[in-house]
Amino acid sequence: MTVTAQPAAPDAAFSGHLLDFLAYMELERGLSRNTLSSYRSDLLQFGAFLAERGLAAEGAESADVSDFLTALASGDAGVPLSTASIRRKAASLRAFYRHLRREGVLDSDPTAGISSLRRSQKLPMVLGRSEVRRLLEQARGTEPIELRDRAILELMYACGLRVSEAVDLEVRRIDLEQRSLIARGKGSKERLVPIGSEAARAVQSYLSRGRPHLVGARIEPRLFVNYRGGALTRQGLYKIIGRHAKAAGLEGKMSPHTLRHTFATHLLEGGCDLRSVQEMLGHSDVTTTQLYTHLSKRHLKDAYFSAHPRAKAA
């Protein structure tokens, strides 16, 4: 298989993942147009390479990534690329697959098998309790959009929802009497997640006093809608949370997925067992959930050194 200098369009699924990735990098990371253009070019080329092999982004393995980079270095695309260019393309692939893992599209990362790409594991960012309160206080109004935003923030923190799960959540999947919802995760796997009292109240207020004004006479099964009454998109959700994060002084410190990390870490800090957290997050492997025990332990250490009278440096 060769890599073409002018790649053809990849399949629709890959294009969708690419658009989501670029939106995330622009809205959450604030990357420049030039950087986004480089990512787009690199990933379109890789998408065409996968399409030539009959593979989706989710089906790529380490060998496919290695073959792609080797083809570029050997000149199969026309002119052999420099080491710096190969490293840039490798970095683009790593960022792309890190995003797919963060969004729950796949479990494994094919770029992790490329030795030149390996990095030390970085713990995800989580919010402290005071930061969560500050964030939630940004959506306190009574207008339909404000009620929607409050429900989004409360529900994502209360239930640890992925971005895709939040935007795909249907009204019929929520039971406020039983205070639970059914989230549809990756692989269309469904799981039952409890809803806390504050989140339940926020959702009830949105359903009774907010959503009807936004939806009007149209039929829309999704819980969260935009100001026109249509289903909220991932990009729309990123913008909503980014706006409130900025107002709370948390700009650059969080993304929608930070609420999921925070949900898991706060549960473990509060004494919830690891298996229960795994089930609520929808992780197929408990080792993925164990990452949050490191965050919880780090929090305990920080709390000790800040609170114990004889632990502080002189």
Q: Catalytic residue numbers?
A: 162, 186, 257, 260, 283, 292
Alpha helices in 160-233 (DSSP H): 163-168, 197-209, 211-215
C-alpha to C-alpha distances, 253 to 125, 134, 204, 294, 300, nearest whole angstrom: 7, 13, 29, 19, 21
181 pairs with which residues across the strands?
174, 193
Planar angle of CA 112, 116, 122, nearest 5 degrees: 55
Residue 198 near residue 154, CB atoms below 8 Å: yes
Tell me the CA end-to-end span of the chain in Å, nearest whole number.
64
Q: Residue 152 is encoded by which pair of tokens? A: 């989004």
What does residue 192 show for φ and ψ, rounded to 5 degrees?
-90, 130
Q: Is residue 242 classed as helix, strand or coil in its secondary structure?
A: helix
Residue with tokens 């440096």: 313
Neighbours of 219 (CB within 10 A): 6
DSSP-assigned letter for residue 225: B
Length of the chain: 314
Residue 69 near residue 89, CB atoms below 8 Å: yes
Alpha helices in the chain (DSSP H): 12-27, 33-52, 62-74, 83-102, 129-136, 144-159, 163-168, 197-209, 211-215, 234-247, 256-269, 274-281, 286-289, 291-307
